[in-house]
C-alpha cells in the first residue's frame, strides 16, 4: 500500500498509508488525543478528522484548547445542532444557511409562525439534549444529482437552490449530526458531545431576506453567541450590558443633550447641552478648515427641481428627497390660505422644489459665478451644509442615521493631475482632526469602479491610482470594496465603530468626473481653452449628528473637557459659602470656562452623585474651610480623591484645559 509522510509541528515526521485520516493519526499517537481531537490543520487547511489525506503534508491536530479552530467548530456545529433542534420541534420548517459570525452564528429558517422568545428557550433546551446524546458526526460525499433529488424529496427548496448555485459538477459533501443531515463543506467536530453545553445562548430573532435580496422571501434569522466555556460567555454578556450603557440614545437623555419625537422622525431637537457640543465642534472644524485653505460658503435649503434634474439627482435620488410643492398663486389673504389643499392640485400655480439632500450642486453654482482660471485651482469650498434625506424608516437610528443632518461638507475643484496631492492633503487633514478628537483607530475602505459608470477607463485608472497611492503614502492600507464606487468616481471611506461594534462611515473622499460637466463648470487653462474641473467631494466628520453620536459612545459620555457641555460645577456645602461659589463661577466664566453654581439645599453627597451621573468633568466643592482660605476642593469625574487648590490656581488650570486642541497647540508655540 502506498505510503505518505506526515510532518508534525515539532518537526518529526511519520509514514502513514495514503488516505489516512487525522483521526487515525491521532489514534496512532494516543487514545486520549484521539478522544480530545476536534480537527486538524493539514498544510494549513482546516481539516475534518474524517477526511483522508492523500499526499505528504504538514499536520497539526487541534483540541478544544486551540481557540481559533475550537470556536470555529463549536459555533459551526451549534448552527447545525440548532437547525436540527428546530426541525425536531417543528417538522416542516425549512432550513437554509447558518454561517459562523463574530462571537457566534446565525441560522435562517423559513417558518410561517414567528419564533417567540419562549421558542428560543425551547430550542436551547432541545439543543442541550442533542449535545448530551454525544452522537457521532459523520460525513459522505454525494453526487450532485443525488443531493438535489434528496432535497426535492424532503421538500427543502432552499437547499436545492443552494446546490444549483454551486458552480461546477464536483460532488458535494453531506454531514450527519446523529440522524440529522445537512449539506456542508465542513469541517465538523467528532461528535455533538464535544460542544460545551453551557457556553452558548440564543440571542434574538430578526427578519432577513433570502440571499440578501429584498425581492425574495423574508426568512426568520436566529442569532446566537457561543464560546469555549461558560466564563467566556458570561464575560461576553457582561460586555454587552456595559456597551448598552454607552448607547448615545440613553446618554443623550441622561445628559440632557437632545431629544427626538414622533412629529419629526429622524430629526434632532438639540437641547442647550447638546448644542454646546455641536457648536464647540463646529467652531473647531471651522478654524481647521480656514487653516486648511477652505473658503466657507452657505447655500439654499429649498431648490427648484430644475437644478436637481440637471444634476441627475431627480432621476437617481428622487425617492430619498423631501419634495416640496409651493403654490405660487397664494396671497396673504387669510381666506385663500384655507384653500391651500385645493389650489395645490392646480398644476398651473404649483412649483416643485426639493430640500437639498446634498450640497454639491449648489457649490457648483458658486463655482460657476464668474470666470475661473487654472490659477484658481485647486479651489476648496466648504459648507456646514444642512441636508434632508428621506431615509427608509427602518434605517433610522438615534442621531446616527437621521433624515435631517448637517455635513462638514467640502468640495475641491481641481485638475485631474491634482487629485493625488489633494487626496494626500485631505488624509493628513482628517487624521489630524480624528486624532484631536481622540480617534486613533479607524478603518479606511477603498471602493473602485462599479459596472455601471461614467468616464473612460483611462480616467478611472488614473483616479483609482491617485487615491490608492495617496492613502498608502500616509501609511494606510485600505480595505478594498470592489465595484462599490459611485458611478461618478472612486471613493475612500473612513469608518468609526460604535459602542456595540457597528461600523459607521464618517469621513469620505470621492472623486467626481461627472457633476462639474453636467452643471457646466469650467475654467480657462494655461492653453487659453475651457476645461472641465474634477470635483472632489469630501467630509471629515461626515455629519455632526452621527459624529457626535459616535463621540458620546466612544467616551461613554465622559467627553474631553473642551467638549463637555458643562465643564465645571461649583457646589456649596453650606449656604454660607454661596457668595464665594458665585465669585468662583464668575471667575471661571470670565476665562471662557462653562461653569455653573449648585447652591441647592442638598447635601454634598447628593450633588456629587448627581453631577457624576451627569458626566460633569470637574466638581468644585466649597465649604466653610474653603471660604476662609479662598481655596476650592477639586473632584474630577471618575476619581475618588479630592485635591485642594487655591482659587487662582484652579482658574488658571481649567482655563487652559478648556482650550480646544488646535488652540492649545498654538498657545504653546
Partner RNA sequence: GCUGCUGUAGCUCAGAGGUAGAGCACUCCCUUGGUAAGGGAGAGGUCGAGAGUUCAAUUCUCUCCAGCAGCACCA
| Least Å from the CB of residue 603 to RNA | 4
The sign of the dihedral angle between the CA atoms of 256, 257, 260, 264 is: positive
Complex with RNA: residue 212 or 528, whichever CB lies closer: 212
Complex with RNA: residue 14 or 271, whichever CB lies closer: 271
d(CA 183, CA 533): 55
Q: Of residues 75, 313, 491, 611, which has the active-site annotation?
A: 491
| Least Å from the CB of residue 655 to RNA | 21
* CA–CA–CA angle 613, 618, 624 (5° rounding): 105
Q: What is the CB-side half-sphere exposure of residue 235 using CA atoms within 13 A?
A: 7
d(CA 326, CA 388): 17
Is 41 catalytic? The answer is no
Complex with RNA: residue 40 or 584, whichever CB lies closer: 584
| Least Å from the CB of residue 615 to RNA | 9
Residue 145: other Cβ atoms inside 10 A? 11
| Least Å from the CB of residue 186 to RNA | 25
Complex with RNA: residue 284 or 426, whichever CB lies closer: 426
Alpha-carbon distances of 473 from 416, 445, 465, 476, rounded to whole Å: 19, 15, 12, 7
Q: Of residues 80, 159, 411, 538, which has the active-site annotation?
A: 411
546 with 399: CB under 8 angstroms?
A: yes
- Left if phi > 0, otherwise alpha if psi is -120 to 50, otherwise beta: which for 11? left
| Least Å from the CB of residue 162 to RNA | 16
CA 23 remoteness from chain centre? 42
Residues interacting with RNA, by CB under 7 A?
Answer: 114, 116, 204-209, 212-214, 218, 220-221, 223, 249, 253, 260, 262, 265-266, 313, 316-317, 320, 357-358, 389, 391-398, 401, 486-488, 500, 502, 505, 572-576, 601-606, 608-609, 612-613, 619, 621, 623-626, 633, 635, 637-638, 640, 642
Place of cell 461600523: 503
Is 360 catalytic? The answer is yes
Is 301 catalytic? The answer is no
d(CA 97, CA 107): 6
Complex with RNA: residue 288 or 356, whichever CB lies closer: 356
Show the 3-state SS of 598-622: ECCCCCHHHHHHHHHHCCCCEEEEE
DSSP conformational letter for 483:
T
Is 445 catalytic? The answer is no
Q: Of residues 288, 389, 401, 462, which has the active-site annotation?
A: 389
Alpha-carbon distances of 229 from 7, 105, 198, 235, rounded to whole Å: 31, 16, 7, 10
| Least Å from the CB of residue 297 to RNA | 19
Residues β-bridged to residue 82? none
Is 387 catalytic? The answer is no
d(CA 527, CA 524): 8
Q: Of residues 76, 356, 537, 546, which has the active-site annotation?
A: 537
Q: Of residues 181, 194, 407, 510, which has the active-site annotation?
A: 407
Residues 6+ apart with CB under 8 A from 455: 488, 489, 513, 514
568 with 588: CB under 8 angstroms?
A: yes
Residues 6+ apart with CB under 8 A from 476: 427, 444
The sign of the dihedral angle between the CA atoms of 628, 631, 635, 641 is: negative
Q: Of residues 84, 159, 188, 360, which has the active-site annotation?
A: 360
Complex with RNA: residue 188 or 221, whichever CB lies closer: 221
Nearest to 412, CA basis, from 596, 563, 536 = 536
Is 169 catalytic? The answer is no
Complex with RNA: residue 109 or 439, whichever CB lies closer: 109
Is 440 catalytic? The answer is no
d(CA 638, CA 634): 12
CA 643 remoteness from chain centre? 40
| Least Å from the CB of residue 88 to RNA | 22
| Least Å from the CB of residue 661 to RNA | 25
Complex with RNA: residue 56 or 124, whichever CB lies closer: 124
| Least Å from the CB of residue 571 to RNA | 8
Complex with RNA: residue 391 or 662, whichever CB lies closer: 391
Task: Give the catalytic positions in this structure.
Answer: 360, 389, 407, 409, 411, 491, 537
Amino acid at each position: 500500500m502506498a505510503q505518505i509522510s506526515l510532518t508534525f509541528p515539532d518537526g518529526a515526521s511519520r509514514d502513514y498509508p495514503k488516505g489516512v485520516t487525522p483521526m487515525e493519526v491521532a489514534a496512532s499517537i494516543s487514545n486520549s488525543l484521539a478522544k480530545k481531537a476536534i480537527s486538524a490543520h493539514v498544510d494549513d487547511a482546516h481539516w475534518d478528522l474524517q477526511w483522508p489525506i492523500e499526499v505528504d503534508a504538514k499536520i497539526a491536530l487541534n483540541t478544544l484548547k486551540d481557540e481559533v479552530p475550537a470556536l470555529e467548530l463549536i459555533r459551526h456545529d451549534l448552527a447545525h445542532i440548532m437547525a436540527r433542534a428546530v426541525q425536531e420541534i417543528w417538522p416542516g420548517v425549512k432550513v437554509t444557511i447558518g454561517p459562523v459570525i463574530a462571537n457566534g452564528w446565525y441560522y435562517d429558517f423559513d417558518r410561517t409562525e414567528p419564533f417567540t422568545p419562549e421558542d428560543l428557550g425551547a430550542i436551547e433546551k432541545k439543543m442541550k439534549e442533542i449535545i448530551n446524546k454525544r452522537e457521532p458526526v459523520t460525513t459522505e460525499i454525494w453526487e450532485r444529482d443525488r443531493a438535489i433529488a434528496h432535497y426535492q424529496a424532503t421538500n427543502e427548496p432552499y437547499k436545492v437552490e443552494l446546490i444549483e448555485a454551486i458552480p461546477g459538477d464536483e460532488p458535494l459533501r453531506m454531514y450527519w449530526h446523529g440522524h440529522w443531515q445537512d449539506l456542508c463543506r465542513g469541517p465538523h467536530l467528532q461528535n455533538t458531545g464535544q460542544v460545551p453545553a453551557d457556553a452558548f445562548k440564543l440571542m434574538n430573532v430578526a427578519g432577513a431576506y433570502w440571499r440578501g435580496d429584498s425581492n425574495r422571501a423574508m426568512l426568520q434569522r436566529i442569532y446566537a453567541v457561543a464560546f469555549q466555556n461558560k466564563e467566556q460567555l458570561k464575560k461576553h454578556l457582561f460586555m454587552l450590558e456595559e456597551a448598552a450603557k454607552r448607547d448615545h440614545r440613553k446618554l443623550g437623555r441622561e445628559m440632557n443633550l437632545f431629544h427626538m419625537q414622533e412629529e419629526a422622525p429622524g430629526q434632532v431637537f438639540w437641547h442647550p447641552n447638546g448644542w454646546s457640543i455641536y457648536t464647540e465642534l463646529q467652531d473647531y472644524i471651522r478654524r481647521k478648515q480656514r487653516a486648511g485653505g477652505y473658503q466657507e460658503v452657505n447655500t439654499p435649503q429649498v431648490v427648484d427641481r430644475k437644478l436637481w434634474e440637471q444634476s441627475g439627482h431627480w432621476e437617481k435620488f428622487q425617492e430619498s428627497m423631501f419634495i416640496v410643492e409651493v403654490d405660487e398663486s397664494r396671497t396673504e389673504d387669510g381666506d385663500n390660505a384655507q384653500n391651500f389643499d385645493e389650489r395645490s392640485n392646480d398644476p398651473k400655480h404649483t412649483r416643485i422644489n426639493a430640500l437639498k439632500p446634498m450640497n454639491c450642486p449648489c457649490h457648483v453654482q458658486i463655482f460657476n459665478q464668474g470666470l475661473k482660471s487654472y490659477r484658481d485651482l485647486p479651489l476648496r469650498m466648504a459648507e456646514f451644509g444642512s441636508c434632508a434625506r428621506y431615509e427608509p424608516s427602518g434605517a433610522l437610528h438615534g442621531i446616527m442615521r437621521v433624515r435631517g443632518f448637517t455635513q462638514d461638507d467640502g468640495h475641491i475643484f481641481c485638475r485631474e493631475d491634482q487629485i493625488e496631492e489633494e487626496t494626500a492633503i485631505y488624509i493628513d487633514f482628517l487624521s489630524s482632526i480624528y486624532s484631536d478628537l481622540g480617534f486613533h483607530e479607524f478603518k479606511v475602505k477603498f471602493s473602485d469602479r462599479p459596472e455601471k459608470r461614467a468616464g473612460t477607463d483611462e480616467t478611472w485608472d488614473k483616479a483609482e491610482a491617485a487615491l490608492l497611492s495617496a492613502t498608502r503614502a500616509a501609511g494606510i492600507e485600505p480595505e478594498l470594496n470592489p465595484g462599490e464606487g459611485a458611478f461618478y468616481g472612486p471613493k475612500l471611506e473612513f469608518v468609526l465603530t460604535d459602542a456595540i461594534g457597528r461600523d459607521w462611515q464618517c469621513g469620505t473622499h470621492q472623486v467626481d468626473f461627472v457633476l462639474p460637466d453636467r452643471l457646466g463648470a469650467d475654467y480657462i487653462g494655461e492653453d487659453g481653452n475651457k476645461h472641465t474641473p474634477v470635483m472632489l467631494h469630501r467630509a471629515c466628520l461626515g455629519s455632526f449628528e452621527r459624529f457626535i453620536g459616535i463621540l458620546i459612545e466612544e467616551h461613554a459620555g465622559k467627553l474631553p473637557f473642551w467638549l463637555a457641555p458643562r465643564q465645571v460645577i461649583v457646589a456649596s456645602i453650606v449656604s454660607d459659602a454661596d457668595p464665594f461659589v458665585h465669585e468662583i463661577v464668575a471667575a471661571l466664566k470670565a476665562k471662557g470656562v462653562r461653569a455653573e453654581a449648585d447652591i441647592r439645599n442638598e447635601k454634598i453627597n447628593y450633588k456629587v452623585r448627581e453631577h457624576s451621573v451627569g458626566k460633569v468633568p470637574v466638581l468644585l466643592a466649597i465649604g466653610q474651610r474653603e471660604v476662609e482660605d479662598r481655596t476650592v476642593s477639586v473632584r474630577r469625574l471618575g476619581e475618588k480623591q479630592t485635591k485642594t487648590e487655591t482659587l487662582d490656581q484652579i482658574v488658571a488650570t481649567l482655563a487652559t484645559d478648556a482650550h480646544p486642541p488646535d488652540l492649545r497647540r498654538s498657545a504653546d508655540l
